[in-house]
Chain A
Amino acid sequence: MYERSLRINGEPRQTNFQDRTSLAHAIREQGLTGTKVGCEQGVCGSCNVLINGDVARSCLTLAASCADRDDIITIEGIDGRLVDLVRDAMHQEHGLQCGFCTPGMVIAIWDLVGRGAAKDETSVREALASNLCRCTGYSGLVRAALRVAAELEAPSVVHSDSTDAAPEHQEGPTT
């Protein structure tokens, strides 16, 4: 165990972790407990974070691989209009119950809408295969993703380096 720097939510943090420590656990040890550890085998998606802007499983990423190199954004750090829309849509559409899968879902939906992958219900459902939810039966999540895509009106929104990927001219939620 020795000290290395992990850049989380825009802030370099001097942290102690072992070579074997997963990014998920390293993040949580920083008190950023919004990143959930659900399966540690890459299936459930509760530990989704952004690494250099791309959604990734923090349970399948070693913190040592990210140290002094990567930009990590967690549920606590993701911001911008698009994620606001995602959160509001998940709230309005009852896309969460117990809340444990929710941070990973917020990031997954932010990613799939932002990539323009929310073309229709089928594409949303196939993309959301990346995350397990045991409470909602997914319909509220699917509606939420489609709602955000409709609110953006544009068929495709390309991520910039910033997590704020929604185009400037778009309006916020209408409800």
Chain B
Amino acid sequence: MEGVVRPTNVGARVPRLEDARHLSGRGRYTSDIPSPPGTLEVAFVRSHLPHARVLDVEVTSIPAGCRILLASDLERVVNPIRSGSTNPNLLVTEQPCLAGETVRFVGEPVAMVLAPDRATAEDAVDSIRLRLEALPVVASAAAALADDAPILHGGWSSNVALQSDREAGPFQEQVAKATTAVRRQFSMARVQPFPMEGRALLAIPGSDAGQLTLYASSQRPHLLRSFICAQVPGLDESALRLIAPDVGGGFGPKGNLYPEDLAVVGASLLTGHPIRWTEDRWEHLVASYQAREHSYDVTAYVDDDARVLALEVDVVVDGGAYSTLPSTMAIDASMALSVLPGPYRIEGYKARGRSVATNKAALSPFRGVGRPNACFAMERIMDEIAYELGLSPLEVRRRNMITPDEMPYRTVTGLIYDSGDYAEALEIAAQAIEELASERMAPEPGVLRGVGYGCYVEQTAHGADEWYRRNMNYIYGHEVARATMNPDGTVTLYVASHSHGQGHQTSFAQIAADRLGLDHDQVEIRYGDTHESPFGMGTFASRSLVMAGGAVHTAAGLLADRLREIAASWMECRPSDVELRNGKAETADTAVALSEIAFAAHLDPGRLPEGAEPGLDFTGYYRPAVGTGAFSYATHAAHVEVDTCTGHVRILDLVVAEDCGTVVNPLIVDGQIQGGAAQGIGQALFEEAGYDAAGQPTAAALTDYLLPGAAEVPSVDIHHLNHPSPHTYNGAKGAGEGGTIASPVAIANAVRDALGSGAPVDDLPLRAQSLWECLQANARLRAVDR
């Protein structure tokens, strides 16, 4: 009976298996792991200056039972972080885990206190005085690029870590054909990815010398183990057990190595004690990795039909003080330049990208990684082209979009789009937002409304080809899963792809259950412990459902094949005649329980067919046949209103029409889109991890760093298109990041639509005061006209 769709498996909107423990408070995060006896808690002494020479760490008296470690102590066991790539032009920063000579951002750790409890450790930090000699501060990317800028890193000739210039396609010829050039500048503020759980670590020395268990709030336990061991001479990967238990949100930054990771490991090695550090929210806001700070100078060369013939762009990314490992500070600019043309047929391209060092916390990939920025620039300029030529923003997009019959389409930047109908997403979103808008009552006096769009194409689940293309030192070409059927017939799958909200325990179980003829709640998915699962990459880059899901599909398939073979030998038929269904191996007339096969495979080997391997344990790898990626895409449409008296923006409706190919669990995918869109709304209207001209952070508390709440985030009206990727095992494309990409620009474009020309919507977050000032100026102009 082929084609039986199980109600709870692939495609089913089932609630998640992981919910129960969280709803009852039984989730276990790193800070929930009990402290073994003798545990010392860490408080860091952090720099109060953005750029300074460290003269002395003055310790007069510290509370009893406290110990202080300085850079000179840690240097004995841990090497500084040097994050580079295979691109020889990328300048490498050297980031010590404790700064001994120079501090380069407010919040940089200089010393660490170990104490029996955190409060006492903080008392000791209070009693320590850092003697710093202030150095000239580079407080912005513009300052970093100034001719006379102080240079932040030794051996560098400027503050530019990497400049890349590229010209692709017949750029000059295309420019020559153009009749209009539309040039604008755009920027996005630095923001905090802000997982609800900050960073957390607990290092526990093993009972055998040289062994260590590290609990860490990490997206990629295996890779974090590799990163740490590469920095700690003598610490072997076999000796470090890294456990990422429940992780309270990641969003990108928790895929990196942090200096505090090394400091905690180093402190445990030096003292022999278990060491715990739980980042507090102040530390999180000043010293965790931040994101998104880009500025753009874009020129679109357009013909009379509003076709964009060529694009010229200059991108500057404020990378902060250090290159994070492994992404480096070049990743954002590289991504932005690669994806800028979006869903449009643009043949000429000239781009410059510069990633610059400043005296700020380091920049990290954050959900979307450069795409929200590039999309903001591209989609804003599409609107500006429309206004310039007197066309509708929709029409300009329609005329430029790549069509399905052009697939696979090679972009001017070298991406190979695999599937999809971009205009279909645009039309669906446009229709939906118009309907929603028309259902609303007329606005109050003093309120202006507008509709705006943002479109993107997102490379997801890319294999080795793409990571090589990006010059990465680490190539994330595959993913792994291990499927085990236990002697009682229960199934456990071990994956390396961690889940911190994405619902892998449910969606991977749905995939495996389909292969094994089970219901999804009969499959247990385990992850997060390097001693349990085979080495894999972890969760990032919208890849898990495709890559790790593919590995689950493979491993569960291998297990299913063996089950069929054994059953066939018993039932005297061919394995292909056996179907796995409802916990049984069945033919048309006989059936045997999987538990019986499982018992035999493990504990009654005499029943196995001649020459058959005992056991039921299969490791499966997945590597997409084509490594250039499965390309998701969407149009986001926003309907907003602006209070002309205050400049405040309210989002009335938000529509997402997206295609992530085959959907395994619509409930989870919709949750990812909604959650991503909320982060986009924060970027558009509220969030700003600012620094003042002196390099001091201006948002070190939640009174100053505003995150969107339930009242600020509408429920997104989500529409799914389904054009499966030809390159993935089940046609799925990644869905984790898309929500963040186009929502900011859709909102900005909607405000532009509401306010008309001159609206200050080119820099995010939008500022109520600026919008009000624009409205006042327009009102004055109208008064003069009269």
Q: Which residue of B lies closest to A44 (CB)?
A: B196
- The interface residues of chain B lying within 8 Å CB-to-CB of A124 are 710
Least CB separation from B192: chain A residue: A134
Task: List, sorted by A's number, 30 A–B pairs whose CB atoms are closer than 8 Å.
Answer: A32-B25, A33-B25, A34-B27, A37-B278, A38-B281, A40-B280, A40-B281, A41-B703, A43-B703, A87-B23, A90-B23, A91-B23, A94-B668, A96-B19, A97-B671, A98-B500, A99-B22, A124-B710, A125-B709, A125-B711, A126-B710, A128-B710, A132-B196, A134-B675, A136-B671, A137-B671, A137-B676, A137-B679, A141-B710, A143-B715
Within 8 A of A (CB), among B3-53: 15-16, 18-29, 31-32, 34
Query: B500-524: contact bitstring with A at CB < 8 Å (1 yes, 0 no)?
Result: 1111000000000000000000000
Contact partner of A99 among B251, B501, B675, B709, CB < 8 A?
A: B501
B residues near A46, Cβ cutoff 8 Å: 196
Q: Which listed residue (B31, B501, B667, B711) contacts A98, Cβ 8 A?
A: B501
Task: Report yes or no: B19 in contact with A100, Cβ–Cβ below 8 A.
Answer: no
> Could you tell me if B197 and A100 are in contact, using CB atoms closer than 8 angstroms?
yes
Interface string of A29-59 (1 = CB under 8 A from B): 0011111111111011010000000000000
Secondary structure class of chain A's binding surface, majority of residues: loop
A129 at the interface (CB under 8 A from B): yes
In the complex, which residues of chain A have a beta carbon less than 8 angstroms from the beta carbon of B716? 137, 139
B784 near A: Cβ within 8 Å? no
Q: Given A44-B702, A94-B16, A133-B196, A100 and B27 touching (CB < 8 A)?
A: yes
> Are B711 and A126 in contact, with the CB atoms below 8 A?
yes
B interface with A by C-beta (< 8 Å): 15-16, 18-29, 31-32, 34, 119, 194-197, 246-251, 278, 280-281, 500-503, 667-668, 670-671, 674-679, 701-703, 707, 709-711, 713-716, 739
| A110 nearest CB across to chain B (Å) | 11
Query: Does B16 contact A137, Cβ atoms closer than 8 Å?
Result: no
Name A102's contact: one of B22, B31, B710 (CB within 8 Å). B22
B196 with A101: CB separation less than 8 A: yes
Using a CB-CB cutoff of 8 Å, which residues 119-162 of chain A contact chain B? 122, 124-126, 128-129, 131-143
9 smallest beta-carbon distances between A and B, as pairs: A34-B25, A100-B248, A99-B22, A97-B501, A137-B678, A75-B25, A98-B501, A128-B710, A137-B674
Q: Is the CB of B29 within 8 A of A91?
A: no
Q: Is A114 an interface residue (CB 8 A)?
A: no
Given A20-B119, A33-B28, A100-B249: A134 in contact with B196 (beta carbons within 8 A): yes
- B24 and A87 within 8 A (CB): yes
> Are A134 and B674 in contact (CB-based, < 8 A)?
no
Q: Is the CB of B676 within 8 A of A129?
A: no
Does residue A65 face the partner (Cβ distance < 8 Å to B)?
no
Q: Is the CB of B197 within 8 A of A97?
A: no
What CA separation (Å) do A132 and B682 show in the bound complex?
12
Q: Are A74 and B281 in contact (CB under 8 A)?
A: no
What CA separation (Å) do A126 and B711 show in the bound complex?
5
The CA of A141 and the CA of B23, in the complex, are separated in Å by: 12
Contacts of B23 in A (CB 8 A): 87, 90-91, 96, 102, 106
B73 shortest CB reach to chain A, Å: 29
By a CB distance below 8 angstroms, the chain A residues around B500 are: 98
Which chain B residue shows the least CB distance to A42? B702
B247, A138: Cβ atoms closer than 8 Å: no
Q: Does A11 sit at the interface, judged by CB under 8 A?
A: no
Q: How far is the CA of A36 from the CA of B713 in the complex (A)?
A: 24
The answer on a CB contact under 8 Å between A91 and B668 is no
Task: Tell whether, in the assembled complex, residue A97 and residue B503 are in contact, meaning their CB atoms are under 8 Å apart.
Answer: yes
Residues of B within 8 A of A43 (CB): 702-703
* A-side contacts of B197, CB under 8 Å: 36, 38, 98, 100
CA–CA, A100 to B196, complex, Å? 6
Q: Is A14 an interface residue (CB 8 A)?
A: no
* Docked pose: A131 CA to B251 CA in angstroms: 19
Assembly CA distance A32 to B25 (angstroms): 8
